[in-house]
Structure formats: C-alpha cells, structure tokens
C-alpha cells in the first residue's frame, strides 16, 4: 500500500510540474519540442539530480518509462486545453508549481531516508527534488528562478522536509507522515502566494 501511495503521488507530482512547464513554454510561444523539453525538465529535473547525488542509478525515469509517457501525454493534453481556452489565468502557474513542490519535496526526503541517509541530508534531498526542476525550467525560459528571488519557495520545501523527517522519527506512520508534510509545504507556499508573503531582501548598494 505504501509503495502504491508513493508511486501515485510521484505521478501526480509529475503531472502538476509538467503542466507548469507547459504553461511557461506556451506563454513564450515555444514549438512542440520546446514545450516537451520544459515539461520534462520541470517534472524530472529535481528527481534526476537527487538520484545521481545519492547513487540511485539508473535514475527512476530510466528504469520506469511510465514517467516519460505521463509527461508527454500531460504536455499534449495541456496544449490542447490551453488552445481551447486561448489564454490561461496568471495564477495557475504558481498554484501548479506549489502542488509539485509539496509532493516532490516529500518524495525526495522519503527516498533519502529509505536509502539510509541522515535526517538533515533527507531534508536537503527533499529540497533538491522540489526546487531544481523549476529552476531549470526558469533558466531555460530566461527567467530568474523562484527559489533565487524573495519568494517563500525553498523555505516551504525545507519546512516540508523537516516535518517529514520529524514525523518519521517519532514513528507516526509513513503515509500519515507524508500527508502531514505535504500539507505543511503546500499550506505555506499557497499562503505566501495569496498573502504576498516574502523573505527579506538584502543589498550592499550604497549611495554616493
């Protein structure tokens, strides 16, 4: 049951992140190849780096091609949907991104603990899984990534990873721990979006 829950959660995360990649690509009027690339790197970029760093090779989507099919089908259906509505609301991108962040963060932390890594490493692996795909997407599209701005983005991921590690440590049960941590990450990120919460920005500029 746990394996099925993790697998389904991972696929849902893939779908939400792939959609966010498609939203950016279509906004920039990319061709089908560009759309597929942005959808793909957003969906698997973080997990690929995580697996390579942990030595979990070959990485997950090479072993299980279902991920590739899900990304391509999601990209196709998203393009058809966007073509039908002509223009997508601006708020959709950060919302889809928030769901992907929440799911991938916990999947990454859970996999790190499963491989025997410590709690702090699991939190870092969760953050990498959650934010790197979006970073690659934004860099390829010529934008400053969310995580490098004042957005509460990586902070939400770190919170979720820490919640999962804590819940796992006190043995609340794997599925319950994942749900609590996902909700924690998602709640903080959505609150930051809705209430325009942000981290302080520092500068060393000095006027003459």
Segments making up each domain of the chain, as ranges? 2-195
Specify the DSSP class assigned to residue 19.
H
> Which pTM value belongs to this model?
0.92
Residue closest to 18 by CA, chosen among 136, 100, 80 = 100
Residues 71-114 pLDDT 10s: 999 999 999 988 887 676 778 889 999 999 999 999 999 999 99
Please tell me the distance from the alpha carbon of residue 106 to that of residue 123, in angstroms, as a whole number: 9
Residues 18-31 pLDDT 10s: 999 999 999 999 99
| β-pair partners for 198 | 151
**Residue 161 CA, distance from chain mean position:** 13
Please tell me the distance from the alpha carbon of residue 97 to that of residue 21, in angstroms, as a whole number: 9
What sign has the CA pseudo-torsion 77, 81, 82, 83? Answer: positive
pLDDT tier for residue 208 given thresholds of 50, 70 and 90? very low
User: Are the C-beta atoms of residues 135 and 145 closer than 8 Å to each other?
Assistant: yes
């Amino acid at each position: 049951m746990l394996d099925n829950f993790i697998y389904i959660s991972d696929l849902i995360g893939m779908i939400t992140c792939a959609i966010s990649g498609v939203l950016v690509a279509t906004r920039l009027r990319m061709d089908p190849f560009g759309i597929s690339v942005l959808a793909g790197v957003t969906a698997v970029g973080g997990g690929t780096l995580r697996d390579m760093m942990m030595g979990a090779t070959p990485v997950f989507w090479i072993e299980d091609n279902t991920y590739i099919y899900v990304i391509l089908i999601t990209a196709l259906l998203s393009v058809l949907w966007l073509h039908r509505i002509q223009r997508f609301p601006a708020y959709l991108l950060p919302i889809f991104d928030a769901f992907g962040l929440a799911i991938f963060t916990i999947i990454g932390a859970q996999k790190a603990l499963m491989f025997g890594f410590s709690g702090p490493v699991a939190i870092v692996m969760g953050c990498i899984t959650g934010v790197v795909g979006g970073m690659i997407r934004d860099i390829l599209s010529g934008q400053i990534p969310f995580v490098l701005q004042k957005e509460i983005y990586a902070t939400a991921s770190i919170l979720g990873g820490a919640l999962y590690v804590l819940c796992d440590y006190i043995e609340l049960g794997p599925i319950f721990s994942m749900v609590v941590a996902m909700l924690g990450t998602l709640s903080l990120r959505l609150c930051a979006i809705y209430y325009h919460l942000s981290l302080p920005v520092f500068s060393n500029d000095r006027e003459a």
